[in-house]
Amino acid sequence: MRTPQPLPVSLGNRFSVRQARDAGVSRGRLHRTDLLIPFRGVRAKPDEVDLDDMDPYRRQAAERRIRAREYTPRLRPGQFLSHETAVALRGGPLPLITRRGVAVDGRTLPVHVSTLGEGPVVRAAGVRGHRADPRSSRVVTTPQGAVLADGATTFAQLGTWSLSDLVALGDFLCRVWRAGPGRPDVGRRPFTTLDGLRETVALARWRGIVRLREAIELIREDSWSPRESALRLHLVLAGIPEPMLNHDVYDVHGRFLGCVDLAYPYLKVAIEYQSVLHSDRYSADVERIAALRAAGWDVIEVTAELLSRPDQLIARVRRAIAGRG
């Protein structure tokens, strides 16, 4: 079999049939086996993302992004990627979708596409269409050319999510990238702000508006991961004093000991969420926690198993606080 003729570089990895024909690509070339047909009227080169070493959450989100990017050439004026699809494209936290306890392939989940105003709602296999009110919905265009709901609109569209998932999403969208030892992307602009969320939610009767308003009051600007958000929420809803987030700790000589996920500095109590430890981080994490304890800190290490048993988690934190009070 002959090697397929190279495609024009200008088309990129995903393109519409119309774009290809305008670039001089023949109909026969568009049906060669090196091209996928993810949606009617779209062609795509196979994605080379390595999904094997990802945890289920990251893998499903990456699969959602692949599907969203494949649909992007089909977007028409007045249409934009929205809801969970917009979260995935930003790299935000998403609830894991499972069937019979197993994470589903994100490429089988629908791409969410909204239509502004009175234009036709998208009806296509693999797509969930929505109608958006231009008076309350805003869009942005990514450097890659995808049009998607802005941060505040994305949040407001997801009022059917659980409170915990909404708070984690809001924490992600509103994170302030502050200066500190070893912190990345200092000064990077957040996707939105707490005021931006309040203003957008107030513009319409969004589904789940009561939960959206409740979530906004629990969102903070200094959480760095959805597990930290869930951990904080368990404590706050249990009536435990709210901890500081991602607090930098120094010893009496001014030497930096580490940044802790949640902290009660006046009590020297730290709470650390322990994700799956990779070999290149394990030693550093062990030494950091040892240094904190040597400096007089009580460090509570929280695993995924402990996080799934909030009563035990809350009791452990209460004991630590009482022992230092």
Mean pLDDT computed over 279-299? 85
Position 36 confidence tier, pLDDT thresholds 50, 70, 90: very high
Cβ pair 181, 256 in contact under 8 A? yes
* pLDDT of the residue at 282: 67
Judgement on whether residues 121 and 194 belong to the same structural domain of the protein: yes
Query: Residue 257: helix, strand or coil by DSSP?
Result: strand
Examine residue 131 and state whether it is found in any structural domain, yes or no.
yes
Judgement on whether residues 189 and 260 belong to the same structural domain of the protein: no
Examine residue 50 and state whether it is found in any structural domain, yes or no.
no
Judgement on whether residues 242 and 295 belong to the same structural domain of the protein: yes
How many Å apart are CA 150 and CA 90, to the nearest integer?
Answer: 10
Judgement on whether residues 136 and 68 belong to the same structural domain of the protein: yes
Amino acid (1-letter code) at residue 73: P
How many Å apart are CA 317 and CA 101, to the nearest integer?
Answer: 30
Last residue of a domain, one of 179, 197, 219: 219
Which of these ranges, 38-42, 45-49, 104-108, 167-171, has the smallest mean pLDDT? 45-49
Examine residue 2 and state whether it is found in any structural domain, yes or no.
no
Judgement on whether residues 205 and 266 belong to the same structural domain of the protein: no
Judgement on whether residues 80 and 195 belong to the same structural domain of the protein: yes
Judgement on whether residues 212 and 288 belong to the same structural domain of the protein: no
Mean pLDDT computed over 135-146? 93
Q: For all residues of the chain together, what is the average pLDDT?
A: 94
Judgement on whether residues 142 and 93 belong to the same structural domain of the protein: yes
* pLDDT of the residue at 300: 96
Mean pLDDT computed over 103-111? 97
pLDDT at 139 over 50: yes
**Cα end-to-end span (Å), the chain:** 77
Structural domain boundaries, residue 19: 9-44
To which residue do tokens 């994305």 refer?
154
How many Å apart are CA 171 and CA 194, to the nearest integer?
Answer: 9
* pLDDT of the residue at 49: 80
Q: What is the pLDDT of residues 114-134, one digit of tens each?
A: 999 999 999 999 999 999 999
Which residue from 65, 49, 81 is spatially nearest to 150, judged by alpha carbons? 81
Judgement on whether residues 63 and 146 belong to the same structural domain of the protein: yes
Which of these ranges, 184-193, 213-222, 281-290, has the smallest mean pLDDT? 281-290
* pLDDT of the residue at 278: 47
- Identify the CATH number of the domain in which residue 262 sits: 3.40.960
Judgement on whether residues 313 and 252 belong to the same structural domain of the protein: yes
* pLDDT of the residue at 283: 73
Q: Alpha carbon of 325 to those of 90, 121, 149, 253, 269: distances in Å? A: 42, 59, 46, 25, 10
Strand partners of residue 42: 16
Examine residue 3 and state whether it is found in any structural domain, yes or no.
no
Judgement on whether residues 130 and 102 belong to the same structural domain of the protein: yes
* pLDDT of the residue at 171: 98
pTM: 0.94
Examine residue 158 and state whether it is found in any structural domain, yes or no.
yes
Q: What is the pLDDT of residues 240-257, one digit of tens each?
A: 999 999 999 999 999 999
Last residue of a domain, one of 219, 244, 276: 219
The enclosing H or E element of 289 equals: helix 279-294
* pLDDT of the residue at 131: 97
Judgement on whether residues 36 and 65 belong to the same structural domain of the protein: no
pLDDT at 181 over 60: yes
pLDDT at 290 over 50: yes
* pLDDT of the residue at 52: 84
Number of domains comprising the chain: 3
Q: How many residues does the chain have?
A: 325
Cβ pair 282, 236 in contact under 8 A? no
Last residue of a domain, one of 219, 250, 272: 219
Examine residue 4 and state whether it is found in any structural domain, yes or no.
no
Examine residue 224 and state whether it is found in any structural domain, yes or no.
no
Examine residue 1 and state whether it is found in any structural domain, yes or no.
no
